[in-house]
Amino acid sequence: MKKKFLNLGKQPLANSFLPSLSNKTLRKEYFYNLSVAFDTQNYLVSITNPVNPKKQYTDKYAHRASESKTMRNAFKNIAQKLKKKFKPKVVMEIGSNDGVFVKNFPAKNIIAVEPCKNLANITKRKFKTYPNFWNKNLAKKIFKKSKKADLIFSANTISHIPNLKETFQAIEYSLSLKGILVIEDPSLKSVIKTNSYDQFYDEHVYVFSALAIENIANKYGLKLFDVQETSTHGGSLRYFIARKDSKFKKTNRLKKSIQKEKQVGLNKFSTFLKFSKRVQISKKKLIKLLIKLKSQKKKIISYGATYKSTTVFNYCNIGTKFFDYVTDTTSNKQGKYTPGKHIPIVAPEIGFNETVDYAFLGAWNFKKEIMGKEGKFLKRGGKFITHVPNIRIL
């Protein structure tokens, strides 16, 4: 049974950066109600009314996974490890974005699947790319006649697809007999422990745990045999899955992870109700801090026009009254406005200058990378604000 525990209010699509504030553009802006529920049977946490993926994954998709050094390195590392350990001949990535993972493999090994045409156009220059949504028809089209995949990789994508049944059935069809499925997504344990409620937005239909993935894999003829904690995106889990009848045995690492998830209470509704209370406190404290800084005439901006900050800005009702603008390195976000709250986005070269007193870390998941490169700002007394794990000035 699905039980609601969090209501994040009216939200726009996290990716719908506006090209202008004309009446025509504003009229077209789409909003939906964002609430989150826990399934007491399979321990799956999901948003209650997913948006039609055709509205989300268009030829104007903004997020480029290659924008951060942390992610470029993380994908390079995991690609090397998977190559060494499993020696896969046919590798498929579901949701290949701008090719940050596949570029670590020889082109002859790769099948890329990416529904956002602007991104698929990047990988198709070098790799066999299908500019389509992942589903059973596509799996049949790809594998009916050719060899099945020895490795299917998918980072920050499976959690985005509402239809888990079709997703996993299509995967089961596409895996070779000894094939491995590796998926990676933000972890529910990290979200609960660090109060990062902004991991909930329209694209994150699910925030998975090992407990939930184990149940899902079982249902579709697969088995979760290992799990690895990673620090990316504020704490993610990498799941290793194979066919149910494969030789892989459940690792101790998986058993420990599941035990830890139970200790945190990811199998109990009461855990999520407590989380929901903490989220409401976080909102109150952030608004209080921003009001205080504004009364002291401080200039505040936001650093990183993340999808996550769409949730924070809209849930906390934060707009240009508090933030002069948002800086972001992604060229196709610059010159646009944030979804719902319409804060201008500018390049850091223009906006991250000596006039800024405080910068809210929209990209808090890259705190280390950002603090490392913004020494000049910190040295002259500039300060970062974060809401993860609680509201504070760094």
Q: Can you give the binding site for ligand JHZ, defined by CB under 6 A? A: 63, 67-68, 156, 203, 233, 304-308, 327-330, 333, 363, 365-366, 369-370
Q: How far is the CB of 179 from ligand JHZ (least distance, A)?
A: 24
Of residues 111 and 363, the one with the C-beta less far from ligand JHZ: 363
CA distance 249 to 226: 8
Residue-by-residue DSSP string for 75-100? HHHHHHHHHHHH--SSEEEES-TTST
Of residues 96 and 365, the one with the C-beta less far from ligand JHZ: 365
CA distance 193 to 132: 35
Of residues 357 and 369, the one with the C-beta less far from ligand JHZ: 369
Q: How far is the CB of 327 from ligand JHZ (least distance, A)?
A: 6
CA distance 362 to 305: 6
Residue 371 tokens read as 């603090």
Residue 347 tokens read as 């390049």
Give the closest residue to 394 by CA, choosing from 353, 358, 369, 363: 358
Q: How far is the CB of 71 from ligand JHZ (least distance, A)?
A: 7
Of residues 154 and 257, the one with the C-beta less far from ligand JHZ: 154
The β-bridge partners of 45 are 38, 207
Of residues 228 and 332, the one with the C-beta less far from ligand JHZ: 332
Q: How far is the CB of 273 from ligand JHZ (least distance, A)?
A: 25
Using the Cα atoms of residue 233, residue 239, residue 240 and residue 243 in order, give the sign of their dihedral: negative
Query: Quick one: 129 exposed, middle or buried, by C-beta within 10 A (0-12, 13-18, 19+)?
Result: buried
Q: How far is the CB of 239 from ligand JHZ (least distance, A)?
A: 15
Of residues 76 and 223, the one with the C-beta less far from ligand JHZ: 76
Residue 130 tokens read as 């299908």
Ranked by CB distance to ligand JHZ, the top (closest) residue is 304
Give the closest residue to 68 by CA, choosing from 384, 375, 365: 365
Of residues 96 and 174, the one with the C-beta less far from ligand JHZ: 96
CA distance 299 to 328: 17
Q: How far is the CB of 159 from ligand JHZ (least distance, A)?
A: 7
What CA–CA distances, in Å, run from 235 to 155, 186, 366? 13, 6, 11
CA distance 48 to 35: 6
Angle 103-228-200 from CA coordinates, rounded to 5°:
80
What CA–CA distances, in Å, run from 199 to 127, 168, 206, 314, 382? 31, 23, 10, 13, 27
Q: How far is the CB of 265 from ligand JHZ (least distance, A)?
A: 25
Q: How far is the CB of 144 from ligand JHZ (least distance, A)?
A: 29
Q: How far is the CB of 309 from ligand JHZ (least distance, A)?
A: 7
The label of the residue with tokens 């646009």 reads 336
Q: How far is the CB of 119 from ligand JHZ (least distance, A)?
A: 10
Of residues 272 and 364, the one with the C-beta less far from ligand JHZ: 364
Under a CB-based contact definition with an 8 Å cutoff, are residues 65 and 98 in contact?
yes
Of residues 46 and 156, the one with the C-beta less far from ligand JHZ: 156
Of residues 19 and 249, the one with the C-beta less far from ligand JHZ: 19
